[in-house]
C-alpha cells in the first residue's frame, strides 16, 4: 500500500470509524485489513450466559464453601455488572496499537495507543502533535467545546475520549499530561455505563 493510501487508512473519523473501517462493520470484514492492522495479539469476550455457567461450575466444584444463596447473590451481581449492554462484547487487540470492540460481532468502539504512530485527525498526528494544538483543532473542526476531568478530555457529542493528553489543574487551568499510557478512543454512540459528566469542566482552549 502506498503512502497516500496509508494516510487515508489511518484517518480518525469521529462518529464514522477509522479510514475505510466504519462503525457497525462486521468483524470478518474488519479483519480483511490485517495487513495494515498487524497481527491480533489478544482477544477478550464478555458473554453473560457463559460467565453465569462458569460461576455455577465453580460453585459446584467448591460446594462445601458456597451455598445456593451465595450463587444467587453472585449471579445477580454479575448481571448488574455486565447487563444487556455489555453482553456479547468482544475486543481484539492488534499489534499496531489499535483495539477494536464489537457487540454481536459489529464494530462499536475503536481504541488507539501511541504505537499507532500514523493515526491522525485531518493530517494532524494524534500522538506527536502538541496536545493543546491537537485538541484545539479537533474542537474547531467539530464545533464542540471539550470537557476535562483529571487526565481525560471528552467531546461528548462526538463520543471522542482522549486520555493523558492534558491534565486538569486548579482554577480551570491545565497542563500537558503524561506521555506514558496516552490513548484515544471513539465510537458512534454513547458509552455503555457512561461516566456522569457532571464533574467534568469545559476546557478553556482560547
8 A C-beta contact, residue 195 and residue 178 = no
Residues with pLDDT less than 70, the chain: 1-4, 46-63, 65-66, 70-72, 74-87, 172, 192-194, 206
* CB crowding 88-102: b at 16 or more within 10 Å, else e: bbbebbbebbbbbbb
pTM of the shown model = 0.80
Nearest residue to 82 via CA among 105, 57, 100, 55: 55
What lies within 8 Å, CB to CB, of 70 at 6+ separation is 59
Domain spans of the chain, in order of start? 3-44+88-202, 48-82
Q: What size, in residues, is the chain?
A: 206
CA quadruple 15, 101, 145, 193: dihedral positive or negative?
Answer: positive
> Hey, how many other C-beta atoms are within 10 angstroms of the C-beta on 156?
16
Look at residues 90, 107, 91 and name the one whose alpha carbon lies nearest to residue 99. 91
Query: pLDDT tens digits, residue range 56-83?
Result: 666 666 667 667 776 667 656 655 655 5
Q: Check residue 82 and give its pLDDT.
A: 52
Closest CA relative to residue 181, chosen from 112, 104, 84, 91: 112
CATH number of 3-44+88-202, picked from 2.60.460, 3.30.1380, 2.40.160, 1.10.357: 2.60.460
pLDDT at position 88, please? 79
Torsions phi, psi of 15, nearest 5?
70, -10
The pLDDT assigned to 48 comes to 56
Amino acid at each position: 500500500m502506498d503512502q497516500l493510501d496509508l494516510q487515508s487508512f489511518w484517518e480518525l473519523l469521529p462518529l464514522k470509524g477509522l479510514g475505510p473501517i466504519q462503525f457497525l462493520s462486521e468483524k470478518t470484514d474488519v479483519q480483511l485489513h490485517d495487513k495494515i492492522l498487524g497481527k491480533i495479539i489478544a482477544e477478550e469476550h464478555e458473554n453473560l450466559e457463559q460467565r453465569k455457567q462458569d460461576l455455577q461450575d465453580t460453585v459446584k466444584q467448591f460446594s462445601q464453601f458456597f451455598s445456593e444463596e451465595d450463587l444467587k447473590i453472585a449471579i445477580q451481581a454479575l448481571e448488574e455488572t455486565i447487563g444487556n449492554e455489555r453482553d456479547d462484547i468482544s475486543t481484539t487487540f492488534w499489534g499496531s496499537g489499535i483495539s477494536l470492540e464489537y457487540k454481536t460481532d459489529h464494530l462499536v468502539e475503536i481504541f488507539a495507543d501511541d504505537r499507532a504512530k500514523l493515526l491522525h485527525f485531518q493530517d494532524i498526528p494524534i500522538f506527536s502533535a502538541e496536545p493543546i494544538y491537537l485538541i484545539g483543532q479537533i474542537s474547531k473542526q467539530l464545533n464542540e467545546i471539550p470537557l476535562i476531568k483529571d487526565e481525560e478530555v471528552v467531546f461528548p457529542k462526538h463520543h471522542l475520549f482522549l486520555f493523558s493528553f492534558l491534565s486538569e489543574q486548579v482554577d480551570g487551568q491545565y497542563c500537558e499530561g503524561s506521555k506514558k499510557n496516552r490513548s484515544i478512543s471513539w465510537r458512534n454512540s454513547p458509552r455503555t455505563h457512561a461516566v456522569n459528566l457532571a464533574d467534568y469542566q469545559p476546557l478553556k482552549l482560547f
